[in-house]
Every structure is written in C-alpha cells, then in structure tokens.
Chain A
C-alpha cells in the first residue's frame, strides 16, 4: 500500500543531543513537509520541499535542519539549538508543485520526541 512512513514512532533523547526523524513516502509525490504539533497550538510548518535538492524554511525552522537527496525521503534533524524540542512531529506529502496548491496533504502517523 502507498503511504508515508515515519520512524521512530517514539523517541527519547537527552538534552543537547541531535536527533534525526525519518520520513519516507512511496506515493511518488514531489512535495514533502514537516510540521510540529503542540497541544493547543495546532500544526506549525518547520520546513518544506517541492523538489529534490531544494527546500524552504517554514514558520519555525530555527533549531531544525532537513535534506532532500531523494524524492522519497525527507529526514528532519532536531538539533541541540532547538530550545523546546519535545513535541509530536508530522511528515506530509502532496502530489506536485501544481497540486501543492490544492492543499491536499497526506500525513504519516507521526513521531513523538521527548527530551529528558
């Protein structure tokens, strides 16, 4: 079945450590996104990519980094510079640059990061 796979589902890390969250899609979608979800704040966009080897900062990119070396993969690194990294992270994709305008996103099941 086609879809988006995020791993790990749960992750615990010590303060000051970098963490990389994986996101893989087999939907042949061009665009991919990372959102952060905190209670009562909805979803906030961290980074997005419309094409391989290119990505743009979202609303809360500070303390995060991404790469897009393959169409299928869009990993997110939460660096030690992120002041409050404990959150639920959601990866999403959409069909293409034109179809991105439709707002139809397909989401993974999320990764819950807890920094101790």
Chain B
C-alpha cells in the first residue's frame, strides 16, 4: 500500500520567510499526490495536486510543490509566509489498491510569527 510521511509535526516561521513543509511518499507505482490545508475547527481544502503531468505544481494562496521521483518527495513551499497561512497541512496519496481511498499523512502544523 502507498503511504506518505510528513517530517515535522510543527513548523514555525517568521512572517515573510520561506515556508517548507516536507512530505515523502512510498509507492511502487507512480502516485497521485496532494496537499490539503485545514484551518482551526474546519474541514480540509485542496491546495494542490500532482497527477503525473508537470512536476512543479502550483496551487492556491501562492503555494507550490515539486514532485521529485529520485527523492520520493513532494515538499510544499511558499516564498513568503503570511499570518493567514497558519494552519495544519496534510500530504496525501491515492491508494491504488482500492482507488477511491485517499491516504493522509499525520499533518504539519504551521505557525507564523511576527
């Protein structure tokens, strides 16, 4: 089965600094990979997805992620953090064993400080 590992349960950055949230995947076949964002006490919202087209994927709110097969990674970045980016971020992968199942990582909580 496919899985994702998010390195770092908490990340803190200063406003205006680079945001880097790490995600590594485990898959024997080309995966579909996703980043979702969750604001406090809300559901999740899709930020961006990789579905085997361009390796650099641009999403909403200025976020982007790069699929690197050699490193089995799909890290999420944003050049300049904003206070409104404070949230929990989840990396996810399609489980091709039962294709409708999306498997999530354990999440990374992003804190943005002044």
Contacts and interface: CB of A to CB of B under 8 A. Distances in A.
Interface residues of B, number: 26
Contacts of A90: 43-44
A50 B43 CA distance: 20
Contacts of A58: 101
B82 interface: no
Given A40-B106, A42-B107, A101 B44 contact: no
Interface stretch (B54-62, B63-71, B72-80, B91-99): B91-99
Given A42-B90, A43-B90, A45-B101, A105 B46 contact: yes
A69 interface: no
A63 B44 CA distance: 24
Given A107-B43, A110-B43, A101 B100 contact: yes
A25 to B, nearest CB: 12
Interface band, chain A? 20 to 34
Contact of A107 (B44, B103, B105, B107): B44
A107 B61 CA distance: 18
Contacts, number: 64
Interface in B33-47: 34, 36, 41-46
Contacts of A113: none
Interface in A40-95: 40-45, 48, 50, 56, 58, 90, 92, 94
A112 B41 CA distance: 9
B102 A107 contact: no
Nearest to B43: A107
Contacts of B93: 103
Contact of A109 (B32, B42, B98, B103): B42
A102 interface: yes
A40 B9 contact: yes
A4 interface: yes
Contacts of B34: 103-104
13 contacts: A4-B43, A40-B9, A40-B106, A42-B104, A43-B90, A45-B101, A45-B102, A97-B100, A101-B100, A102-B49, A103-B34, A105-B46, A110-B42
